[in-house]
Amino acid sequence: MAKASGSTRRFISQLNAGEIVEDQVFLISSKDLRTTNNGSLYIHCVLCDRSGQILGRIWQASETMYREMPEGGFLRFKGRVENYKGSLQFIIDAMRPVDPDTVDLSDFMPQTKENIDEMFDRVKAILRTIKHPALLRLVKAFITDEELMARFRKAPAATQMHHAFIGGLLEHTRNVLELALATIPRYPEVSLDLVLAGVFLHDIGKTAELAYDTNFSYTNEGQLVGHITQASIWIDRKVRQIEQETGQPFPSDVRDSLLHIVLAHHGSYEFGSPKLPATPEAIAIHHLDNLDAKLNLYLNKINTDPDQAGDWTAYFAHLGTKIFKKDVMGVRK
């Protein structure tokens, strides 16, 4: 069996079935104490680094071992990598504490490969093209909220699925804005102003829904309120502030149409949308949002697949398919 050296950082994407891991630090994303069919305890956990995640198991576990595993924290692990139903799993033989000050967080927090300042400048440049005065003022109220924009620039767009990396929310928002510029002018009866504002704000609540200091997880606010509701609350607050500042009522139909975009952008009740898309702008944003999310997800699965020689990835239950990853046109690097 191959051995992973304790002196060299070994990322999860580099691990192979049959490999012995002697001393590696991993982030514990989640943990669960379970019972086998014969009544003994085992720990089911998910270990992460910036390259991905791997299922971990500790057989013959105890409640004490379970309590000593810091969810959202780090431990040093020793064990072996096995193939289980087409996917890798890490059988943990031993674990011990690690000094947090010795951990390089860049090894565990995946980050956008693009320049955050340049992406944010592009987002602002696109939003400045909005011509509707009330919408432009509302967007500016968000853009000038420095604390919120600091989180917007850093937040991931998800914990595990698409754009799950530092700067992911910004990159995703920039991408969907660009898609809107490329498609909406083809349909002159669809308001580009409303679409651009809706794209900018549809996921803004993820800045409060997700935690991303040492790992990606949901905040209490995220679990209790969620990003769709949070964004709607913020829009309503900003509208009220604008009305107080200007002494003029904000156009109620415009406000409601923007709120509807946020409430409907998941597209169906099944995927957590409180409303179904009922306007051209809402259905446009739903599909543009989904297009960018799915393409990012598929490309990430291709690029991080451990079997680089094969033509197919493993089967993904949430997608309902394997992904054909052979670059038949020679366009992927």
**Same-domain status, 99 and 130:** no
Assigned domain for 325 exists:
no
What average pLDDT score do residues 166-194 get?
97
Per-residue pLDDT tens over the stretch 114-135: 999 999 999 999 999 999 999 9
Q: Phi and psi of 316, rounded to 5°? A: -110, 115
Largest CA distance in the chain: 74
Closest CA to 197 of 253, 128, 144, 151: 128
Assigned domain for 41 exists:
yes
Give the pTM.
0.78
Question: Token digits for 330?
Answer: 């020679």
**Same-domain status, 77 and 168:** no
**Same-domain status, 157 and 209:** yes
- Say if CB 251 and CB 138 are below 8 A apart: no
**Same-domain status, 143 and 156:** yes
Of the residues 105, 138, 155, the one at which a domain ends: 105
Residue 109 has a pLDDT of: 79
**Same-domain status, 277 and 132:** yes
Q: H or E element: which one contains 55?
A: strand 52-58
- Say if residue 240's pLDDT is above 90: yes
What average pLDDT score do residues 264-284 get?
95
**Same-domain status, 138 and 259:** yes
**Same-domain status, 101 and 114:** no
Question: Token digits for 135?
Answer: 């919408």
**Same-domain status, 100 and 117:** no
**Same-domain status, 208 and 292:** yes
Structural domain count of the chain: 2
Residue 300 has a pLDDT of: 85
Q: H or E element: which one contains 168?
A: helix 168-183
**Same-domain status, 25 and 45:** yes
Strand 217-218 to 74-84 pairing: unpaired
SS3 326: coil
Beta strand extents in 72-170 (DSSP E only): 74-84, 87-96
Assigned domain for 202 exists:
yes
Per-residue pLDDT tens over the stretch 132-164: 999 999 999 999 999 999 999 999 988 777 888
**Looking at residue 11, which CATH number applies to its domain?**
2.40.50.140
Distance of CA 81 to the CA centre of its chain: 26
Assigned domain for 238 exists:
yes
- Say if CB 235 and CB 175 are below 8 A apart: no
Assigned domain for 216 exists:
yes
Assigned domain for 333 exists:
no
Residue 166 has a pLDDT of: 87
Residue 1 has a pLDDT of: 44
Cβ within 8 Å of residue 225, ≥6 positions away: 205, 208, 209, 233
Q: What is the domain range of residue 61?
A: 3-105
Assigned domain for 326 exists:
no
**Same-domain status, 147 and 276:** yes
**Same-domain status, 83 and 117:** no
Assigned domain for 215 exists:
yes
Of the residues 59, 87, 105, the one at which a domain ends: 105
